[in-house]
């Protein structure tokens, strides 16, 4: 079916207006361009040049006339009324990082509308929001709040620092630092860390009270990992760690139940703000020596 538009999808639109070949380059260029335009017209205002970044000046640059809380059954929306472009966010969402992400996501919609106008000057803002558009606006929000280049350079600096008592740099601390510095949720910081710094890693947040993961991202065989963590936690409690506040930490490998030969190294640590929550990173899997020998035999 032809759409009559000179682009085939929202990401194709962004690639065209930013002259990019890869989707991730298109998103980064779009946000870099917005950032320099906001800096040019607002000057060095808070939240524009240094993190934590504030989506409001970006929304204003793109034509938002008002940003307000409202009773909504969604996180946020844009209401267009003749010349007024109003961003509404759910007033019940009180966590500042959640509200900032909602606003940054709506900035993504405004930026897409602006991009579409460049290719189709008489186009009107469309209400229909496909899943592809929503995913793209989430990616724009992530880049706006926690830019790829800054996270990568922070991680490179961490990797260059001398290590005390560790084999490698500490991904758990890096995730906590991203959340603090950029004012984003721990989940977003963890996903951003994996995407930017270590695409082979998995991350998850365990709730020791509820004995389940609050969220998980790219963790293979999470049931097996959960069993290991709960076992290690119970051993710690039985071993007279009556108050496990901040003490539940460790590193081990867990076996994948479907193969029983591969093992996946994991590292975990309780969170300072709530010791019942435990952040876990899963490193690229290693192969058992038997399997490694088999692989080597096959290679020759």
What residue ranges bind Zn ion (CB under 5 A)?
Answer: 134, 137
Residues 97, 129: Cα–Cα separation, whole Å: 23
CB of 134 to Zn ion, least distance (A): 5
Residues 116, 263: Cα–Cα separation, whole Å: 48
Q: Which is nearer to Zn ion, 13 or 278 (CB)?
A: 13
Q: Which is nearer to Zn ion, 109 or 233 (CB)?
A: 109
CB of 243 to Zn ion, least distance (A): 43
CB of 269 to Zn ion, least distance (A): 34
Residues 48, 182: Cα–Cα separation, whole Å: 12
CB of 195 to Zn ion, least distance (A): 20
Q: Is the dihedral of CA 131, 132, 135, 137 positive or negative?
A: negative
Q: Which is nearer to Zn ion, 137 or 191 (CB)?
A: 137
Contact 26, 33 (CB under 8 A): no
Residues 119, 6: Cα–Cα separation, whole Å: 7
Residues 108, 142: Cα–Cα separation, whole Å: 10
Q: Which is nearer to Zn ion, 137 or 175 (CB)?
A: 137
Residues 57, 64: Cα–Cα separation, whole Å: 9
Q: Which is nearer to Zn ion, 101 or 155 (CB)?
A: 101
CB of 149 to Zn ion, least distance (A): 25
């Amino acid at each position: 079916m032809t759409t009559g538009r000179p682009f085939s999808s929202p990401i194709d639109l962004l690639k065209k207006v930013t002259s990019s070949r890869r989707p991730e380059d298109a998103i980064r260029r779009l946000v870099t361009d917005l950032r320099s335009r906001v800096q040019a017209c607002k000057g060095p205002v808070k939240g524009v040049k240094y993190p934590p970044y504030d989506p409001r000046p970006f929304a204003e640059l793109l034509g938002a006339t008002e940003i307000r809380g409202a009773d909504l059954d969604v996180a946020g929306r844009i209401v267009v009324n003749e010349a007024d472009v109003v961003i509404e966010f759910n007033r019940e969402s009180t966590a500042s990082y959640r509200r900032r992400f909602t606003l940054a996501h709506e900035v993504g919609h405004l930026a897409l509308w602006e991009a579409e106008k460049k290719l189709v000057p008489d186009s009107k803002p469309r209400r229909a929001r496909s899943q592809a558009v929503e995913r793209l606006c989430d990616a724009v929000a992530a880049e706006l709040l926690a830019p790829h280049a800054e996270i990568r350079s922070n991680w490179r600096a961490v990797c260059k620092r001398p290590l005390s008592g560790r084999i490698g740099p500490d991904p758990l601390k890096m995730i906590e630092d991203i959340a603090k510095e950029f004012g984003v949720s721990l989940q977003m910081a963890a996903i951003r860390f994996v995407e930017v710094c270590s695409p082979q890693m998995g991350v998850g947040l365990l709730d020791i009270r509820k004995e389940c993961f609050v969220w998980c991202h790219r963790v293979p065989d999470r049931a097996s990992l959960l069993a290991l963590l709960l076992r290690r936690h119970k051993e710690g409690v039985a071993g007279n760690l009556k108050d496990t506040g901040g003490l539940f930490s460790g590193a081990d490998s867990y076996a994948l139940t479907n193969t029983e030969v591969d093992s996946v190294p994991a590292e975990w640590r309780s969170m300072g703000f709530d010791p019942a929550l435990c952040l876990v990173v899963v490193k690229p899997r290693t192969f058992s020596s038997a399997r490694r020998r088999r692989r080597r035999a096959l290679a020759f």
